[in-house]
Amino acid sequence: MPMSDPTPYDLIGGESGVRALAVAFYDAMDRLPEAATIRAMHGESLDGIKQKLFEFLSGWLGGPRLYFQKYGHVCIGSAHGPYPIGEAERDQWLRCMDIALDEIGASDEVRNILHAPMFRMANAMRDR
């Protein structure tokens, strides 16, 4: 049986790595003044959204499809529809993700694999 290439989920460290990424992402958003615009789109507590991002990223990165199993098919773009998202907000999101990847010690390989897909996902949320 041939071995398959590891997924980004595997390369980040599986469940614990993806959870650490989701936590680091929202912790960065919570503390960075330059992310204030997107932070204001969230409630006072980020605990619930950290869990949702972990569940989403788990499947998106090639691991268990936790978000889909829990919520079914949800259009991520529609979920972000109520929020005004332009280039500045996209770039704030990407900045927080870059910092989170730094903080979890993501390898250059992971960063290279994720760079373009993360940009496409963040850019797809733009509605202005």
Query: What CATH number should be reported for the domain holding residue 105?
Result: 1.10.490.10
Residue 74 located in a structural domain: yes
Tell me, what's the pLDDT at 75? 74
Looking at the 3D structure of the chain, how many domains does it have? Answer: 1
Residue 103 located in a structural domain: yes
Decide if 53 contacts 59 (C-beta within 8 A).
no
Tell me, what's the pLDDT at 72? 84
Q: How far is 76 from 74, CA to CA, in rounded Å?
A: 6
Range of the domain at 68: 13-124
Tell me, what's the pLDDT at 2? 55
Residue 40 located in a structural domain: yes
Residue ranges in the chain whose pLDDT is less than 50: none
One-letter amino acid at 101 equals L
Q: How far is 123 from 101, CA to CA, in rounded Å?
A: 19
| Count of Cβ atoms closer than 10 Å to residue 26 Cβ | 21
Q: How far is 103 from 89, CA to CA, in rounded Å?
A: 21
Residue 8 located in a structural domain: no
Residue 3 located in a structural domain: no
Q: How far is 85 from 99, CA to CA, in rounded Å?
A: 20
Residue 90 located in a structural domain: yes
Residue 5 located in a structural domain: no
Residue 4 located in a structural domain: no
